[in-house]
Amino acid sequence: MRRTILAAVLLLASSCKRSEDEAARARMFSPEQPVGELPQAKEKIDAARLADDPALARRVLHMRRAEIEQRLGPHKAQQRVQFAWFRGPGLPDGGSEVSLAEETTLVQAPGGDFSARLVNDHNQGFELLWVKGEVFVKSLYGSFHKRRTDRTDPGRIREQALSGLATFDRLAHGLKLRSAGETTSEGRRVARYTVTGFGARDGDVDKSDLPAVQYPENKVDPDTARRLELWEKEEPVRVSGTLVIDAQTAVPLGCDLRGHFKVAGNGEGPAAELDLHSVLVTSSVGKDPGLKTPQYEPETSVPHAVKDPLRFLGKTAAPAPAPPAPEEADDEEEEAAPQR
């Protein structure tokens, strides 16, 4: 009787665990549900006070795309960024120079759907499409492929692809603004600003809820150290440009910013200098772009390619030869030896 009860309990426990695993697997691979409204998107912001309040200016210039989506609704944003790094132009060898120009186009649709396309002057780029909780990605000249939602972060890619305005403001340690009055753009009332300087929030540090980065053996490798120098030792030299802020939603609709920045040398080499030009244009506010699921190619299964490489390459292997039939045992050998 006890064995019967124990077997029933074990069977019930295994079935419960199996159902929990299936439910967890269904949640993990199901299409992602739309995120609810952000509390900060309901905050009322006076777009005419940015020149008098540096903290409010930072709040607007660093506004995330998720909040812009809920404040502005469907729209199209185009960003063009061009930069050039110079290191040691006065050296006998002429120093070094690295330059890049890229353009990003964001098409925001109702319900959180969007497409982001980035191209640069090195003939590189990608396109990402987020539609109905599914994500599709393709290279500049390739075909769309569907990606798993548990291995892709479309929102983060959208933020990074259109972070030119926030990055420029951070490099300038806070832009100093002067009001240029109000006007209209595509039928919307906007506030215009002129950039008069930098250092409005000198010493301002980005706050994050994430813990501090822990490096191996508490040491930073040389490549990471050079990248960190950009934020720790960078100094603005000159900035100029204009800003356009939507009067109703306080969303940055446009900018045309130019700046020159410098990273002092560490005594072992010359200083590095950066020329940066950032442009943002927003249009088609309130118009549904009608994004749809694209034609895409099925994703290749890597385990299948590893287990069966010939079939993965579209070839078939020659059939393996049949194993030889076992030889019949000799009756004479099976006979027992006669006893003495």
Whole-angstrom CA distances from 42 to 45, 71, 309, 332 are: 9, 8, 55, 97
Q: Where are the alpha helices (DSSP H) in 204-300?
A: 222-232
Residue 120 lies in a domain: yes
Instruction: Please provide the distance, in angstroms rounded to a whole number, between the alpha carbons at the two ends of the chain.
Output: 59
Using CB atoms within 10 Å of the CB of residue 174, give its burial: 0 to 12 exposed, 13 to 18 middle, 19+ buried: buried
pTM: 0.74
Cα separation, 134 vs 154, whole angstroms: 10
3-state secondary structure of 54: helix
- Into how many domains does the chain fold? 1
Residue by residue, pLDDT tens for the chain (340 residues) are 556 665 655 555 555 556 667 766 666 555 554 456 788 899 999 999 999 999 999 999 999 999 999 999 999 999 999 999 887 655 555 567 889 999 999 999 999 999 999 999 999 999 999 999 999 999 988 899 988 876 778 999 999 999 999 999 999 999 999 999 999 988 899 999 999 999 987 766 666 667 888 888 888 888 887 777 777 888 999 999 999 999 999 999 999 999 999 988 766 667 788 999 999 999 999 999 999 999 988 766 555 555 566 666 666 655 656 666 655 545 554 455 555 4
Does residue 169 fall inside a structural domain?
A: yes
Structural domain span for residue 282: 45-126+160-205+217-289
The answer as to whether 304 is a domain residue is no
**Helical residues (DSSP H) of 41-161, grouped into ranges:** 54-61, 65-72, 154-161
- Is residue 224 in some structural domain? yes
Task: Report yes or no on 56 lying in a domain.
Answer: yes
321 found inside a domain: no
268 assigned to some structural domain? yes
In a domain? residue 115: yes
The DSSP bridge pattern shows strands 272-283 and 134-139 to be unpaired
